[in-house]
Structure 1
Amino acid sequence: MRYKVTFLAGVVLGYVVGTAAGRERYEEMKKSARRFAQNPVVRNAAETAGQNGRAFAGKAFTAVGGRVGDALPPSVARRVPGLRDRRQGSEDEWGTSNT
């Protein structure tokens, strides 16, 4: 599905760049795209996809972090917020000491 959308976006972009119809057709396409993006069904689908993606990314981070987190060097673990609690030391998320 992602490849189909990417292909379609490329076709539209190629048409816009290479069109001989001029500014009038460009404005018509722009207005149509704006109406499509503001459609409540499309907005709900995009928001649902975003929420599902964030949930999946969180689960993946937890699964990978649990397996790989202890094997990472401390310099890398300091840069990844979810792995900071695995390190020893008393630094907060800003990298400053609590003492």
Structure 2
Amino acid sequence: MRYRLTFMTGMAVGYVLGARAGRERYEQLRKWAQRLAQNPAVRNTAESAAHGGRQAAVKALEKVRPLRERIGQREERGMEEDDWGTSNT
């Protein structure tokens, strides 16, 4: 469903940008888009999608934070054991 909605939105934007239907058709599409954006179901869906995105970001941060801490500890020790720098040979 999400992909269908994305496709339809892209079609509408492409039509508006590429059409030569004139100002009247543009105004019709603009009013339709405003009604759609003000629809409570659309607003709830957008809000829950944003909430889900925030939750995914928090989970990703929880997984990355321990890695960052390990990298920080490794930098404190120094890079002698696995130095990937340039050599003088």
Match of 1:18 in 2: 18
2-side partners of 1:42 and 1:3: how far apart? Answer: 15
2-side partners of 1:45 and 1:61: how far apart? Answer: 24
1-side partners of 2:8 and 2:69: how far apart? Answer: 40
Which deviates the most, 4-13 or 63-72? Answer: 4-13
Match of 2:82 in 1: none
Structure 2 stretches lacking a partner, 5+ long? 77-89
Cα displacement (A) at 1:6: 4.1
- The number of aligned residues is 74
Question: If the length of structure 1 is used for normalisation, what is the TM-score?
Answer: 0.61
1-side partners of 2:66 and 2:2: how far apart? Answer: 29
Structure 1 stretches lacking a partner, 5+ long? 75-99
Q: How does 1:1-99 map to 2 (within 5 A)?
A: 3-72=3-72
Cα displacement (A) at 1:17: 1.9
CA deviation string 1:27-58 (max 9, x = no partner): 11011011011111111111111111101111
Q: Name the SS of the counterpart of 2:20 in structure 1.
A: coil
Cα displacement (A) at 1:3: 4.9
Larger radius of gyration: 2
CA deviation string 1:46-78 (max 9, x = no partner): 11111111011111111111123331569xxxx
Question: If the length of structure 2 is used for normalisation, what is the TM-score?
Answer: 0.67
Structure number having the greater helix percentage: 2
Q: Percent same amino acid among aligned pairs?
A: 49
